[in-house]
A and B are shown apart, each in its own frame.
Chain A
Amino acid sequence: MTLDASTPNGERMTLNMGPHHPATHGVLRIVVESDGEVVATCTPDHGYLHRSIEKIGECVEWPMFVPYTDRVDYVCAMNANLAYCVAAEKLLQTDPAATFTVPRRAECIRVLVAELNRISSHLVAVGAMAMDVGAYTPFLHGIAQREGVNDIFEKLCGQRLTYNYVTIGGVAFDLYDGAIDDIRRFLDQFEREMVRFNKLVTTNTIFRDRCAGVATVSAKEAVAWGLVGPNLRGSGVDFDVRRDEPYCVYGELGVQVPVGQAFAGRKGQVGDAYDRYVVRLLEIQESIRLCREVLKLLPPSAEKPNDPIGGIQADVGKLLKKPGKGEIHVRTEAPRGEMGYFLVSDGTKSLFRVRCRTGSFTAAGIFHHVMRGIFLADVVAVIGSFDVVVPEIDR
Chain B
Amino acid sequence: MNPSDRPGNRDDEQIVLSSVDEFLAWGKEHSLFYLLFATACCGIELMQAGGPRYDVDRLGMIPRATPRQADLMIVAGTITHKMASRVRTLWEQMTEPRWVVSMGSCANSGGPFSKWSYSVLNGIDKYVPVDVYIPGCPPRPEALIDGVMALRDRVRRYRTLGERDTTPHVVAGHDAPFGGHCKVPDFGKPPEGKA
Question: CB within 8 Å of B: which residues of A?
Answer: 19-22, 26-27, 47-53, 55-56, 59-60, 67-68, 70-71, 74-75, 124, 140, 143-144, 146-147, 150, 160-162, 390-391
Contact = CB atoms under 8 A, between A and B. Distances in A.
B78 interface: yes
B83 A19 contact: yes
Given A47-B82, A143-B52, A146-B48, A52 B43 contact: no
A142 to B, nearest CB: 9
A55 B40 CA distance: 19
Given A161-B44, A161-B45, A26 B39 contact: yes
Nearest to A77: B41
Given A19-B86, A49-B80, A50-B80, A143 B117 contact: no
A287 B31 CA distance: 41
- Chain B, interface residues (CB within 8 Å), range: 20 to 34
Contact of B86 (A20, A67, A75, A140): A20
A140 B45 CA distance: 13
A55 B39 contact: no
B116 A143 contact: no
A51 B36 CA distance: 21
Contacts of B86: 19-20, 48
B48 A55 contact: no
A50 B119 contact: yes
Contacts of B127: none
Nearest to A154: B140
Contact of B40 (A20, A74, A160): A74
Given A71-B112, A147-B48, A147-B51, A48 B80 contact: yes
Contacts of A26: 38-40, 43, 77
A124 to B, nearest CB: 7
B113 A51 contact: yes
A74 B112 contact: no
Given A143-B47, A143-B52, A52 B116 contact: yes
B138 interface: yes
Interface in B115-131: 116-120
B137 interface: yes
B6 interface: no
Given A49-B78, A144-B53, A74 B44 contact: yes
A59 B117 CA distance: 10
**Majority secondary structure, A binding face:** helix
B65 interface: yes
B94 interface: no
A314 to B, nearest CB: 26
Contacts of B38: 26
A47 B81 CA distance: 10
A160 B117 contact: no
A107 B53 CA distance: 32
B176 interface: no
B44 A71 contact: no
Interface in B11-65: 36-41, 43-45, 47-48, 50-53, 63, 65
Contacts of A53: 117
A354 to B, nearest CB: 12
Contacts of B113: 51-52, 56
Contact of A143 (B39, B51, B83): B51
A52 B120 contact: yes
A59 B116 CA distance: 7
Given A19-B83, A19-B86, A144-B53, A52 B118 contact: yes
30 contacts: A19-B83, A20-B86, A21-B65, A22-B36, A22-B65, A26-B39, A26-B40, A47-B80, A48-B86, A49-B40, A49-B77, A49-B78, A51-B40, A51-B120, A52-B116, A52-B118, A53-B117, A59-B116, A67-B112, A70-B41, A71-B41, A140-B51, A143-B48, A143-B50, A143-B51, A147-B51, A150-B48, A161-B41, A161-B44, A161-B45
Given A27-B83, A162-B41, A144 B65 contact: no
